[in-house]
Amino acid sequence: MSATGEEPAGLYLHVPFCSAICPYCDFAVLVGRRDKRQRFVDTLLAEIALYASRQRSANEPSRQRRANETQSPDTIYFGGGTPSLLEHDDLERLLEAIRRTFAPRPGTRIYLEANPEDVEPASLDAWRRLGVGTLSLGVQSFDDDELRFLGRRHDAAASWRAIELALAAGFETVSVDLIFGLPGQSASGWRRNLERAAALGPDHLSCYELEVHERTTFGKHRARGELDELPSDEQAELFLLTHRLLAETGYDGYEVSNFARSRRHRSRHNRKYWRHVPYLGLGPSAHSFDGRRRWWNERSLPRWQRALDEGASPEAGSETLTPEDLAIETIMLGLRTAAGVDLERFEQHFGFDLAERNSDLLERSIAAGRLRREDRRIVPTLEGLAVADGLAAGFELST
């Protein structure tokens, strides 16, 4: 549904450095000194230049296939890792190269992820001057014991201060990330986190359930029987509490994990992932999508750098999605949002009436209170959002 040009593309840049590796983190990150970070920026500039040369080359065999990935974006997202660790001069170099190569559209939104300990008046001023519109703060908790458990380097007081400074700095959107579902976490404890966040009044909140991945420190602890995950019914209780309490305090839950004070504070960039809009990912482990094909870069920083040093693509793998793959992803991603699935748009793209083919399933899901019909949309209820992926799995898509 992205190849029609309905929405501009997005650009994502993965910055793989952190001051410390959190025990729950499964991203491609590492601790790196300033010289290593600057070497990374030089290589990232080389990757940008590689795409610039492909745009100029009339003889590129896959030029047509790559047309969507190089169209002018309207979002630029610095994620990681901790992009706020980069020097302001390095961020400026990257943005200059992006503007030369990709010609971002007027009004392009720039996103930057930051940790509370990196937030100072001088850094906020520099980010604003660089054009950052959305600052996303990795707060995770307002409880010092929880922050220590999560391996964070800041305390609750630093979180509070960082949010207040960011809100005063004049960003278009200040977003705060929180994590729930820690072992032993009570509903009252999580409620306190939410109430503290809402009291500060950021424009956007992202509330993620703690996931324990096998290769992380937490995963190893679980394998040795040293970490007990919160039971699923208690996780579900915290999920429902999140949506209900934030709705009461003025935050619209427009996606499973995302809440905004108004529509203008919703994430324009993340919407592209949810709607199969093309996006280009640069940096180690970054993923890209052109409407049919998805590909990803080398996860290892040395392997990614080695490929680009040799003038080669750092692509590590790819997959071409079938119409059925795209259809099930459209349902799954749609049912994770408050907007649900647009049935007319679905039929135009995939050639069949989803509701008609799945009438029995829809009737059962509506009766169970997990879905509802709104004109030509299938929309999840709050209880449906809690099990959105499972709902999508039941749809019949074969011809």
Q: What is the pLDDT of residue 57?
A: 66
Q: What is the pLDDT of residue 19?
A: 86
> Which residue, 297, 296, 326, is CA-closest to 43?
297
> Which residue, 323, 366, 372, 322, is CA-closest to 347?
323
Residue 20 has pLDDT above 70, yes or no: yes
Indicate the domain borders of the chain: 9-273, 323-393
DSSP state of 184: T
Asked if residues 354 and 394 have their Cβ atoms less than 8 Å apart, the reply is: no
User: Which pLDDT tens digit goes with each residue over 81-105?
Assistant: 999 999 999 999 999 999 999 999 9
User: Which pLDDT tens digit goes with each residue over 312-358?
Assistant: 999 999 999 999 999 999 999 999 999 999 999 999 999 999 999 99
Residue 5 has pLDDT above 80, yes or no: no
Mean pLDDT value across residues 279-301 = 97
For domain 9-273, give the CATH number: 3.20.20.70
Edge-to-edge strand order for the sheet containing 341-342? 341-342, 377-380, 371-374
State how far the Cα of 190 lies from the Cα of 28, in Å rounded to an integer: 28
Domain 323-393 indexed as CATH 1.25.40: no
State the pLDDT confidence band at 63, using cuts at 50, 70 and 90: very low
- In angstroms, the Cα distances linking 384 to 221, 282, 335, 375 are 32, 34, 8, 18
Higher-scoring residue by pLDDT: 54, 25: 25
Q: What is the pLDDT of residue 187?
A: 98
Mean pLDDT value across residues 196-211 = 97
Asked if residues 164 and 200 have their Cβ atoms less than 8 Å apart, the reply is: yes
State the pLDDT confidence band at 206, using cuts at 50, 70 and 90: very high
State the pLDDT confidence band at 2, using cuts at 50, 70 and 90: very low
State the pLDDT confidence band at 69, using cuts at 50, 70 and 90: very low
State the pLDDT confidence band at 135, using cuts at 50, 70 and 90: very high
Mean pLDDT value across residues 138-142 = 97
Residue 15 has pLDDT above 70, yes or no: yes
Query: Residue 231: which residues within 8 A CB-CB, separation 6 or more?
Result: none
Higher-scoring residue by pLDDT: 62, 105: 105
Residue 58 has pLDDT above 90, yes or no: no
User: Which pLDDT tens digit goes with each residue over 237-252?
Assistant: 999 999 999 999 999 9
Question: What pairing do the DSSP bridges indicate for beta strands 252-255 and 258-260?
Answer: antiparallel
Neighbouring CB atoms inside 10 A of 391's CB total 22
State the pLDDT confidence band at 34, using cuts at 50, 70 and 90: confident
Token pair of 126 as six digits: 């520099």
Query: Residue 311: which residues within 8 A CB-CB, separation 6 or more?
Result: 50
pTM: 0.93
Q: What is the pLDDT of residue 399?
A: 58
DSSP H stretches of helix in the chain: 34-56, 88-102, 121-129, 144-149, 156-168, 187-200, 217-223, 232-248, 268-274, 301-309, 323-334, 343-350, 354-357, 359-367, 382-385, 388-393
Residue 56 has pLDDT above 80, yes or no: no
Q: What is the pLDDT of residue 4?
A: 43
State how far the Cα of 82 lies from the Cα of 95, in Å rounded to an integer: 17
Out of 55-64, 105-114, 182-191, 353-362, least confident range: 55-64
Residue 68 has pLDDT above 60, yes or no: no
Q: What is the pLDDT of residue 257?
A: 98
State how far the Cα of 68 lies from the Cα of 64, in Å rounded to an integer: 8
Asked if residues 370 and 383 have their Cβ atoms less than 8 Å apart, the reply is: yes
User: Which pLDDT tens digit goes with each residue over 163-191?
Assistant: 999 999 999 999 999 999 999 999 999 99
